[in-house]
Amino acid sequence: MTRIRTTPQHSAFQKIPVIDIADLFSEHVNDRKQVAKVLAHASREVGFFYITGHRISATRVDNLKAAAKHFFSQPLASKMQSYIGLSTNHSGYVPEGEEQFYSASQSVHKADHKESYDIGFELDNADYKRPMLGTNQWPNVENFQANVTAYYQDALSLGKVLFRGFALALGLPEETFVKQAIRPPSQLRLVHYPYDPSAQDREGIGAHTDYECFTLLLPTADGLQVLNGAGEWIDVPYRPDCFVVNIGDMLEVLSNGRFIATSHRVRKVKEERYSFPLFCSLDYDTCIEPILPVMEGEDPNKYSALVCGDHLYAQTIQTFRYLQKRFKAGEVSLPKSAKAVASFGQFKAVIDKSSQSGA
């Protein structure tokens, strides 16, 4: 079993917990608080969990899958007409090799073996336009926009329910996060892993943490793996009745390290696979900084403040080739609060030690 160095916050879990969140929709706050206790435990010990009782209909899910299959079945030339590099707000088609993630084992960026279509919050007020927030680029494919938008709205609503649950889990007022999620740059990705009969046990998406507060994932097959506190990669088997939720960078900062962004990757598998993550964020200009006091024995200066949208944009510039080209050409610049890729979560200690040793 592959092992790498990690920080010790996570337990040496061997499986991912399943949480029924139905009572987060209850009118009774005590019901919601009971679910929040379970969320708190899973977020501390694992950082990943399945959820049931989410209220997203099978019809919404089926229509989303059909839209993705229809789009990705087109010739590459047709898909490239909606290339993400043609957009002004980072929306559109992402061909294989466009995006690269940090690889802790090699300390380099690696190309991913997948393609995707990315959309975000559909902004209707130009006053709030930002580099990662605006009007989506849509392909000329029948029913694609309607079906993807319908799913996005339902998933975004579920994300707000979870934001309330996480606030209660941290002992905060229930509306702490949702009142800062009015026009969030929350991105939905339609990810396609093509069938590969020669595939062996290698990465499809390299090891990484997610930039946002948390991710709401709808997978369609096996392949996802999570790094536990013992440095072991643990499989997250596909469950058709569940969504998968994981903690991201921003919730780690907001919680002052009580919840840690969990590293994960996708193994390359032979079967064709789809994946639909919604990366749940707060509003673009929100200042992300610890809300809770520092824990005993922890560095009080461990987390510096960052601007939500600037953090997303900085990470995106560092992982997408079209933006890297614009950066090198001086057409875009990194925000002042930019962090290096893999600045949070379990890989942070690995990077810090490498930097100190001059590696």
Q: How confident is the model at residue 52 (pLDDT cuts 50, 70, 90)?
A: very high
Amino acid at 134: G
Residue whose C-alpha is closest to residue 93's, from 151, 138, 29, 34:
138
The C-alpha atoms of residue 353 and residue 351 are separated, in whole angstroms, by 5
Is residue 128 within 8 A of residue 182, CB to CB? The reply is no
Ranges 27-31, 228-232, 343-347: which has the least confidence? 343-347
Looking at the chain, the whole-number percentage of residues with pLDDT higher than 70 is 85
The predicted-structure confidence for 207-246, as pLDDT tens digits, reads as follows 788 989 999 999 998 889 999 989 999 999 999 999 999 9
Q: Is residue 359's pLDDT more than 50?
A: no
Is residue 313 within 8 A of residue 281, CB to CB? The reply is no
Mean pLDDT of 86-105: 82
Q: What is the pLDDT of residue 245?
A: 98
Amino acid at 231: G
Beta strands 233-235 and 115-119, pairing class = unpaired
Q: How confident is the model at residue 349 (pLDDT cuts 50, 70, 90)?
A: very low
Q: How confident is the model at residue 110 (pLDDT cuts 50, 70, 90)?
A: low
Q: Is residue 46's pLDDT more than 70?
A: yes
Query: 1 or 311, which is more confident?
Result: 311
Task: Give, as one character, the DSSP assignment of residue 263.
Answer: P
Query: 27 or 304, which is more confident?
Result: 27
CATH superfamily of 18-357: B-lactam Antibiotic, Isopenicillin N Synthase; Chain (2.60.120.330)
The predicted-structure confidence for 275-296, as pLDDT tens digits, reads as follows 999 999 999 999 999 999 998 8
Angle, helices 58-72 vs 144-169, to 10°: value is: 130
Residues 6+ apart with CB under 8 A from 312: 132, 185, 211, 212, 281
Domains of the chain: which residue ranges? Answer: 18-357
Whole-structure pTM value: 0.89
